[in-house]
């Protein structure tokens, strides 16, 4: 390859960016010039620019693809069309050897642009069933990699394979004592980490805060509650540390945790599995999603790596009961986690992606 240029795309949620974040250091080490195509104001803009200010970020128009009736279903195709033109101009200008897509609405025009420009497109699907964006984008893909083996039954067999999970290497570099120090904890009690996703979760937040006194009898608590959802009145509660959202601090906070309460996004739960953190999962309900988190959570529950409570079943009493059960089952979960397949390294994932380069 004379000119080693790669285009990365993916956005809308932190989960659609994290794998790209994981492989960027390896791509840099291998001498690739990296261009990132994302939306003009999505979470990917902040995540990429904050972590990798030297990477060229291209913002394009991005319409949302909806499964429900909305007037915007008539207007957003024009945004997708505009995004396609913008992506095509970028791809033709930078001439990448491959495009790697992590999914999300913004990835659709980028995958289409790759096909039109005769650039190989490689897609990664994290969930058990492909999302709507990836369902459309895979039409233009050379290959689709999956995290779950179960996903392959939903994909064209000639151009799909299971790569397994890929974990950001920096997560393994976290230090428990640093995380405890960041939170002002002395280490006398086990630590509970709560993650409700990048936007937070009112259901998870309320379940924690309504039981805070009882929970603090068992644990010190690290609460990632979502942007704009920090509760000022709880700032000085001993044993309770709340953040709206973290990036560089996350490895230390995860290592400080003994158990985790989380949504069931694929990237996050595989990170907890790799770091052997027993989980109580509260997946997004079918009313708020296409049901992917429910499927993710059930597979982890079947393997014995997590317990699950559905969002509609969460009350202060039921949540506290599940948390007590998690505490009792944590050692058994860790033992089962030890026999799980170890995730691939970013180097291995990059090797798979580059095998499809022109």
CATH number at residue 225: 3.40.50.2000
158's CB contacts (< 8 A; 6+ apart) are none
Query: How much is the pLDDT for 75?
Result: 55
Q: Where are the alpha helices (DSSP H) in 138-285?
A: 176-183, 202-209, 212-218, 250-256, 266-274
Strand boundaries in the chain, DSSP class E? 5-9, 33-39, 56-60, 98-101, 121-125, 143-146, 160-162, 191-195, 220-224, 240-243, 259-262, 279-281, 306-308
Cβ contact 96:119 at 8 Å: yes
Report how far residue 64's alpha carbon sits from residue 42's, in angstroms, rounded to the nearest whole number. 12
**Are residues 101 and 11 part of one domain?**
yes
**Are residues 350 and 330 part of one domain?**
no
Asked whether residue 68 carries a pLDDT value surpassing 50, the answer given is no
Report how far residue 219's alpha carbon sits from residue 259's, in angstroms, rounded to the nearest whole number. 10
Query: How much is the pLDDT for 342?
Result: 84
**Are residues 349 and 319 part of one domain?**
no
**Are residues 250 and 234 part of one domain?**
yes
pLDDT for 18-61, tens place per residue?
899 999 999 999 999 999 999 998 889 999 999 899 999 999 99
Number of domains in the chain: 2
**Are residues 204 and 147 part of one domain?**
no
Instruction: Give the pLDDT band of residue 169 (cuts 50, 70, 90).
Output: confident
**Are residues 349 and 276 part of one domain?**
no
Report how far residue 128's alpha carbon sits from residue 74's, in angstroms, rounded to the nearest whole number. 29
Instruction: Give the pLDDT band of residue 286 (cuts 50, 70, 90).
Output: confident
**Are residues 193 and 321 part of one domain?**
yes
Containing domain of residue 103, as a range? 5-166+343-354
Report how far residue 245's alpha carbon sits from residue 228's, in angstroms, rounded to the nearest whole number. 9
Query: How much is the pLDDT for 132?
Result: 85
């Amino acid at each position: 390859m004379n000119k080693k240029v790669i285009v990365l795309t993916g956005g809308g949620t932190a989960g659609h960016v994290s794998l790209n974040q994981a492989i960027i250091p390896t791509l840099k080490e291998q001498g690739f010039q990296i261009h990132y195509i994302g939306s003009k104001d999505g979470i990917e803009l902040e995540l990429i620019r904050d972590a990798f200010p030297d990477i060229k970020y291209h913002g394009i128009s991005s319409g949302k693809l909806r499964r429900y009736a909305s007037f915007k279903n008539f207007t957003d195709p024009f945004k997708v069309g505009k995004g396609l033109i913008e992506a095509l101009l970028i791809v033709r200008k930078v001439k990448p050897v491959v495009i790697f897509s992590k999914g999300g609405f913004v990835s659709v025009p980028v995958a289409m642009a790759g096909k039109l420009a005769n650039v190989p497109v490689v897609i990664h699907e994290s969930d058990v069933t492909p999302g709507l964006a990836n369902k459309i984008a895979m039409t233009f893909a050379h290959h689709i990699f999956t995290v779950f083996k179960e996903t392959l039954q939903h994909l064209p067999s000639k151009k799909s394979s299971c790569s397994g999970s890929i974990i950001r290497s920096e997560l393994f570099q976290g230090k428990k004592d640093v995380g405890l120090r960041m939170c002002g904890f002395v280490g006398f009690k086990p630590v509970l980490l709560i993650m409700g996703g990048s936007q937070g979760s009112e259901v998870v937040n309320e379940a924690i805060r309504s039981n805070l006194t009882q929970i603090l009898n068992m644990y010190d608590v690290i609460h990632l509650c979502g942007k704009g959802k920090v509760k000022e009145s709880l700032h000085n509660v001993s044993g309770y540390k709340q953040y709206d959202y973290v990036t560089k601090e996350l490895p230390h906070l995860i290592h400080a945790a003994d158990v985790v309460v989380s949504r069931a996004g694929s990237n996050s739960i595989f990170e907890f599995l790799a770091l052997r953190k027993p989980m109580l999962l509260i997946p997004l309900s079918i009313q708020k999603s296409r049901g992917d988190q429910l499927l993710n959570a059930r597979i982890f529950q079947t393997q014995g790596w997590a317990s699950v409570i559905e969002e509609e079943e969460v009350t202060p009493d039921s949540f506290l009961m599940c948390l007590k059960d998690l505490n009792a089952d944590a050692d058994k979960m860790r033992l089962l986690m030890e026999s799980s397949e170890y995730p691939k390294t970013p180097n291995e994932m990059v090797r798979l992606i580059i095998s499809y380069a022109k």
